[in-house]
Structure 1
Amino acid sequence: MRLLKMFLFVLIGLFAVITIIGLLIPSSVKVSRGVIVNTDSSNVYKELSDVKNWNQWLPWITADSGAIVQTSAVTNAPGAYFKWKGVKLNSAGTFTIQSIKPDEILVLHEIKDMNTSEGGFRIRSISSNTTEVLWYMEYKLKWYPWERFFGIFIDKIIGSAFEQGLEQFRSYTEQKYGSSTAALTREN
């Protein structure tokens, strides 16, 4: 009986320590990745502001060629959504456009087994044929200690998906609209 009491005391103490440490971890994680696209910012804006184009570069779709994709009837206005369910991969989610501005598209990210998060895309013209795209998300964590500890790894998990998606977006957009790099190569 005494051994059982000691075990419970240690278990409760361990839980209390983990909870206190978890509460010291920030309650949100900001994830962002950027890419330079060699095309005009209006082309980048056109591709990002219309969810019907997202199946060309979203990493959860390109990695699962059998994914079932559904988009809203109106695809380029606030309320437009892109929904998917993986077939080969165990992924699913919905991205909903919250607002559209010439330099920023706000998106609500709902990814399977994760909390709903706000974020979006920032578009910045660097020159006439060079545009910077930033994909960002703020992931809010609940107070649970295990979720706070999970938050430490969110940047690595989501960040790598963002990097892959942005690289695919860059390739897709430059191929569709031509890039200044490709134009220079053709001229030489």
Structure 2
Amino acid sequence: MRFVKLLLISVIIFGVVVFLTSLLFPSTAVVERTGVIQAPIDTVYAHIANLKAWDPWNPWTRPDTTATLVYSDPAIGTGAWYSWDGKENSGKVTILDSDPAKGVHYLLDIKGVRPVNSGIELKPTRDGKGTAIFWHMEIKLGMLPWWKLRGFVADRVYGPAMNNGLTKLSKICEGK
């Protein structure tokens, strides 16, 4: 009986220590990727502001291959959205802000997961022939320790898909 009591107290103390330690971890994870596309800024903007143009390059346009997509009318610019509903998950992407000189900011809202604030920012390169692109995601993790620990692997999980998306977008915009 004494052993069980000691074990129970140890488990409770360990849980409290883990929770208190997790309070030191950030409650958001940020994943960022950058690149340069050798195409004018208006060409790149046309592919990021039009949600119907996301399918060939964005790794999260169709997160569930069985999903059916529904687009707003129009599917371009501020307020445009698309939603999907599939066997694995469902959700919605909404463009919050869209500016041809700056890029787009959007909200990714997947059912059962916290919303993700994201953006694709554009700037002309110094020579004016290309476009510097900055893609970022801010993921709210919450206060629970096991969610905060996911923040440490967010870059390794989402970063490669973002790199792949930027590579595909570059090829499309450069006409390769």
Instruction: State the TM-score, normalized to the length of structure 2.
Output: 0.88
Q: Distance in 1 between matches of 2:173 and 2:36?
A: 11
Q: Tell me the CA shift for residue 43 of structure 1.
A: 0.6
Change in Cα spacing, 1:154 to 1:91, as seen in structure 2 (3 Å) is farther
Q: Which residue pairs with 1:105 in the alignment?
A: 104
Are the structure 2 counterparts of residues 165 and 113 from structure 1 closer, same or farther at C-alpha, using a change threshold of 3 Å?
Answer: farther
Gaps of 5+ in 2: none
Please, which moves more after superposition, 74-83 or 60-69?
Answer: 60-69
Structure 1 residue runs of 5 or longer lacking an equivalent are 179-188
1:155 aligns to what?
A: 155
What is the aligned partner in structure 1 of residue 30 from structure 2? 30
Letter in 2 for 1:103: K
Deviation, 1:114, is 3.4
Equivalent position SS for 2:54: helix
Deviation at 1:60, TM superposition (A): 3.4
The superposition leaves residues 135-164 of structure 1 with CA deviations (integer Å, 9 ceiling, x where unpaired) of: 111112211011111111111112122111
Alignment length (residue pairs): 174
Alpha-carbon distance in structure 1 between the residues aligned to 2:160 and 2:83: 20
C-alpha contact (below 8 Å) 1:60/1:91 kept by paired residues: no
Matched to 1:138, the amino acid is E
1:109-120 matches, within 5 Å, as 109-111=108-110, 114-120=113-119
The CA distance in 2 between the partners of 1:171 and 1:22, in whole Å, is: 42
Greater displacement, 145-154 / 107-116: 107-116
Q: How do residues 58-73 of structure 1 correspond to structure 2 at under 5 angstroms? A: 58-61=58-61, 67-73=67-73
2:97 partner letter: S
Alignment of 1:1-188 (within 5 A): 1-61=1-61, 67-85=67-85, 90=88, 92-101=90-99, 102-111=101-110, 114-126=113-125, 127-175=127-175
